[in-house]
Amino acid sequence: MPLLRWPDQWNTVMSKSFRFLNARAAVAILLVCMFLVPVQAQIRYAPGQRPANNDAPKVPGFGHVEGTTPIPGFGLDAETRVALLPEDFARADERLQREDSNRDGHIDRDEARRGRWSDDPFVYDYNRDNRLNRTELAHRYAQRRIQETASRGGGPPPPAASRNQPSDEQRREQERRAAEEAARRSGVPQGTRESWHLTDVLMSRHDRDRNGYLDAAERRSMGLDSLAADTNRDFRVSRQELAVWLAQQQTEQNRIAPAELPTWFVELDRDGDGQVSMKEFSDEWTEEKLAEFVGFDSNNDGFIERHEAQRAAERSQGQFANHRLQVIPSKGIIRSEIDVEDTAQISDVDLVLSITHTYTGHLKAYLIGPEGQRVELFAGVGANDDHFDNTILDEEAPASIGRGRPPFAGRYHTADRSRDRPGLRQFYERGMYGKWTLLIEANSDRPGALHSWVLVFTKIEGNEPPPMADEFD
């Protein structure tokens, strides 16, 4: 019986074996096809070695390969329709080398702010990721190349992306305001208008490669210490770093030797500690020299300090000042006082005022004399413009403060004088001695600051009459 069943068993085994082999063969063929197709697609040929039948993929992938000339109308060029040349990518690479401080292959907005740009580079941020990649930078230089060609009388007109760009002055002002806002938010020091102006002048003279930074050689040429101003220690000084450093230097210099100090004080203060000792004051002492020193040293501590020298200088010139900064609240009144110890009579008096406020039209100011005399200095002048910068109120001045424009440089007569009131003239032929008070009233949503105010007296000598209006020169 087993011999009779053998053929059937053989048939069953053979049938199953063939089905198993067919399945394995199908899987093997599929794997071979999957491997060979990508290999064929990745074949690269050197120039001149491509086979005659050109068996490369007939449909290439989409997108622009960086470093090659794209076809207008495809990829990122669909918006600009500008062909990118190798020189555009070369300039983009140079820019990345300078500005890409974290070496991530992009220039973000913080990195861009540290550089100098002739336009807003983020006009070319086509993918809106707040970063500029190599291709986007190349687009920028391609647009500039076309614009330069057009300006020489050839080629198409400048593209829309480069039209109506701000002037260099407007761009610098925008950069300054952006830096101030960033500094204010972060709480780090920031420059002043004066320091930014000086920064622009210094950069124009010493930034020879015009990259917006001072390198070591450029800093040496301007006499700047190699580590000075380089706060982030990247071995170069940006415009913002220089502006902040200059502002700090100005503050320090004013602390050591304010402009109001007499020249002799700065000359005698040899160690720069802000006071003149007896040793510095004189090497040979006489009774006259000692009396002179004691006249300056009002607290008898053996040192002439800045405020003592300043008050002595003001007394000799008929000037009395208050240099203490006071914040002007958004809505309220502040008072500042000057005590005059001189008993001479007044032939003329002017008032010099320095205020920081970004809406001068919301301010009023009054001067109260020692006997309660009241003068309205100004009220609601200058509209929404900024500041009083050493403004001189002089009743003999022909121009009214009401017709001035901030920061009111020069001389103006008071609001009272404009209304045919005596104004400051009511103090003529009266004594200087007593307490003088300045009142500033603010009706604004913005705070401000009173920096200083100075009374400048002309004393009566003999029977000299007060000056008249036609004496103003």
Question: Per-residue pLDDT averaged across 87-95, rounded?
Answer: 84
CB 343 within 8 A of CB 442: no
Measured CA to CA, the distance from residue 321 to residue 306 in angstroms comes to 13
> In whole angstroms, what is the distance from residue 225 CA to residue 446 CA?
40
Task: Give the percent of the chain with pLDDT over 70.
Answer: 66
Q: How large is the average pLDDT for residues 372-391?
A: 90
Do residues 400 and 411 touch, judged by C-beta distance below 8 A? no
- The confidence score (pLDDT) of residue 103 equals 81
Assign a CATH topology to domain 319-471. Answer: Jelly Rolls (2.60.120)
384 and 361 Cβ atoms separated by less than 8 Å: yes
The closest of 159, 157, 107, 170 to 135, measured between CA atoms, is 107
| 283-328 pLDDT tens trace | 888 888 888 888 888 788 889 887 777 777 666 667 888 988 888 8
pLDDT of residue 101: 81
Query: Between residues 400 and 41, which one has the greater pLDDT?
Result: 400
- Sign (positive/negative) of CA torsion 46, 48, 52, 58? positive
Per residue in 134-152, pLDDT (tens digit) is 888 988 888 888 877 766 5
pLDDT digit string, tens, across residues 246-287 = 877 766 654 444 545 677 787 888 887 778 898 889 888 888
Contact 81, 73 (CB under 8 A): yes
pLDDT at 223 over 70: yes
Q: Top-level CATH class of 86-151?
A: mainly alpha
Across the range 350-357, mean pLDDT stands at 91
Q: What is the pLDDT of residue 249?
A: 72
What span, in angstroms and rounded, lies between the C-alpha atoms of 282 and 293? 9
Q: Is 115 or 9 the better-scoring residue by pLDDT?
A: 115
Average pLDDT estimate for 427-448? 91
Using the predicted structure, report yes or no on whether residue 4 has a pLDDT greater than 50.
Answer: no
CATH architecture observed for domain 168-255: Orthogonal Bundle (1.10)
| Tokens standing for residue 262 | 């007499």
Between 88 and 466, name the one with better pLDDT.
88
3-state secondary structure of 143: helix
Judged against a pLDDT cut of 50, whether residue 77 lies above it is answered with no
Q: Is 288 exposed, middle or buried (0-12, 13-18, 19+ CB in 10 A)?
A: exposed
**CATH of the domain spanning 263-317, picked from 1.10.238.10, 3.10.20.30, 2.60.40.10, 3.40.50.2300:** 1.10.238.10
**Residue bearing the bigger pLDDT, 233 or 352:** 352
| Cα 115 to Cα 210: distance, rounded to the nearest angstrom | 10
pLDDT tens-place string over residues 447-463: 888 989 999 998 886 54
Cα–Cα dist 109/122, whole Å: 8
Report angle CA 92, 98, 101 to the nearest 5 degrees: 115
Percentage of the chain exceeding pLDDT 90? 18
> Pick the residue with more confidence: 176 or 402?
402
Write the pLDDT tens digit of every residue in 13-54: 555 555 555 666 666 666 655 655 444 444 444 444 444 444
Asked if the domains 263-317 and 319-471 are classified in one and the same CATH topology, the answer is no
**Domain range list for the chain:** 86-151, 168-255, 263-317, 319-471
Q: What is the DSSP letter of 426?
A: G
Q: Are 353 and 470 in contact (CB under 8 A)?
A: no
Q: Quick count: other Cβ atoms within 10 Å of Cβ 328?
A: 22
Q: Are 281 and 268 within 8 A, CB to CB?
A: yes
pLDDT at 175 over 50: yes
* Listed range (52-66, 135-149, 326-340, 391-405) with the worst mean pLDDT: 52-66
As a whole number, mean pLDDT of residues 191-204 equals: 75
For residue 352, the model assigns a pLDDT of 94
User: Distance between the two ends of the chain, CA-based, in angstroms?
Assistant: 146
User: What pLDDT, on a 0 to 100 scale, did the predictor assign at position 24?
Assistant: 63
